[in-house]
Amino acid sequence: MKKLEILIGLCLCLSCSLSMDTEDEGLCDSVFSIRGTTKVTGASDASETNVQRWAVMLFDAGNPAAWYYATSDGSADITCTVRKGRPYRAYAIVNYPPDFSPSLIQGEGHLLQFSSTLSSNTDDALVMFGSKQLPVLPSGTTSIPLQRLCSKVAINKISVSMEDPVYAAQEFTLNALYLTNVYTCTSFVCDHYEPDSDPNLWYNARGWHGSGNVRTLDNLVGDRGLGVSIGNGNSYQTQHVFYAYPNACEEDSTDEHWSPRHTRLVIEATLGARRYYYTITLPAMIRNNCYTINEASIRKPGSLDPEMIIPGIVDAVVTITEDTWDSEYYTSEES
């Protein structure tokens, strides 16, 4: 199990280490803490809970003009001075991009209009967002949901089981694994249920670097230069993990002319002296969900184009873990 918790301590002078009296008796200091604990093994675990910076914003439910914010570089505590005896809507943004400044927010409605781009994430700092209506401050204890904005795609095992003896005798080399047709935009609040057709909002459209070449995105969506030889009847059992913003396309397309379509996981390999592609189409994606291929079994020579879907060349099942990746993941408030 893995947990990331935001602990929000709301108090007046109950603890000098967490809060202090203010000159105005109508004010109180709200102390926000964030901590992560993990019991899951795997190379990606620490990076998925890493906090490089975070911010808290509190909006007075009865007075839209009254709102407060505070930030922290790293995972240090945040103290925010607010008027006590008021209900607030609390927002937490973790690993927001350096060019996003809470000081520029003009109100709650303004915040809710903000979008995030996939390039705001790095493989060791994923953007997270959560909100909760808080009771009158100071308050008791409650939980606040916190979600990563991206979806996670994992492949755990690749097996080679060529049916034709001619191909079984040829050398199979795994060259690369990567996502194509990656949607790169989402809002802080919710997924885009109808992705925009603008090709500038997509990455690896129809193939690797089919729409641009951005190193930060490459680190999120692909592993290249693998050069792993897999003998027939054998398997490669190293997990590879990728991150993409949710692509909720209901309709799919393989047309050579660009149009919105499903995100795909592509296995790029060489069989003998020829390059082939084995493409696994992912379902409509949701933020903070994990899409796992436990095993992809290669049966035949692949296609010559990553957008060419040939039935029967690879067997794979995509398992969806809803709302959480491989554990509980939440925030909580404590006074």
Residues of the chain with CATH 2.60.40.3690: 151-321
Q: Give residue-wise pLDDT tens across range 130-178.
A: 888 887 766 555 555 678 999 999 999 999 999 999 999 999 999 999 9
Residue with more model confidence, 42 or 197 = 197
Over range 125-129, report the average pLDDT. 93
SS3 category, 119: helix
Q: How many helices (H) and strands (E) does the chain have?
A: 4, 25
- Determine phi and psi for 318, rounding to 5 degrees: -95, 120
Q: How far apart are CA 48 and CA 325, in angstroms?
A: 10
For residue 165, give the DSSP letter. Answer: H
Do residues 252 and 234 make contact, with C-beta atoms less than 8 angstroms apart? no
**Cα first-last separation, the chain:** 25
Which class is 151-321 in CATH?
mainly beta
Do residues 32 and 39 make contact, with C-beta atoms less than 8 angstroms apart? no
Q: How far apart are CA 104 and CA 120, in angstroms?
A: 18
What is the fold, at CATH topology level, of the domain defined by 2-149+326-333? Immunoglobulin-like (2.60.40)
Per-residue model confidence (pLDDT) at position 66: 85
Over range 283-287, report the average pLDDT. 93
Q: How far apart are CA 80 and CA 68, in angstroms?
A: 7
Per-residue model confidence (pLDDT) at position 139: 59
Q: Give residue-wise pLDDT tens across range 207-262.
A: 999 999 999 999 999 999 999 999 999 999 999 999 999 999 989 999 999 999 99
Q: Give residue-wise pLDDT tens across range 57-79.
A: 999 988 888 888 889 888 888 88
Q: How far apart are CA 316 and CA 295, in angstroms?
A: 6
